[in-house]
Amino acid sequence: MGFLSRLRTAFTKGERPGLTADAPGLVVVAECFDDAEAASTALTRSGDFRAPDPAVLRHHLSLPVARVDEATAVVGQDGYTLRELGAGEAGFVLVVAARGQVVSALECSRERSRMVSLASRLGGDARGWDVLQPG
């Protein structure tokens, strides 16, 4: 394995491109919609979450309608897809940013932080996250 391959692997360690949000049979196995709850607590609380298995991590966001395209471009750089769920409060839309990866408390925490920052910069709000795995 060459230097660039090792470097790419180091920065994409948690990603598993084979599992996508469109994969059949996915069910929510863990979730956290409380800013005060640690990701480790949310994952431990779940009896269905299987730590070593591939999963889809979804972040639920409320964004201004006018900023959705910008958000799509930003999250797309990290392998996320952004999908609209429906209308939120006036001028806002509810969306999910989803990516297939191996999920850990560290990954959830880090990605939650990034999504909170993104939503804030765009004038929106990060509501929480959930993890899906095949049922």
Nearest to 95 by CA among 21, 4, 2: 21
Scanning the chain, the segments in alpha helix (DSSP H) are 3-11, 39-45, 68-76, 105-121
Q: What is the pLDDT of residue 5?
A: 42
pLDDT digits (tens, 9 = 90+) for 36-86: 999 999 999 998 999 889 999 999 999 999 999 999 999 999 999 999 988
Domains of the chain: 26-134 (3.30.70.970)
Q: Is 69 exposed, middle or buried (0-12, 13-18, 19+ CB in 10 A)?
A: exposed
29 HSE (CA, 13 A, CB side): 21
Q: What is the pTM of this model?
A: 0.84
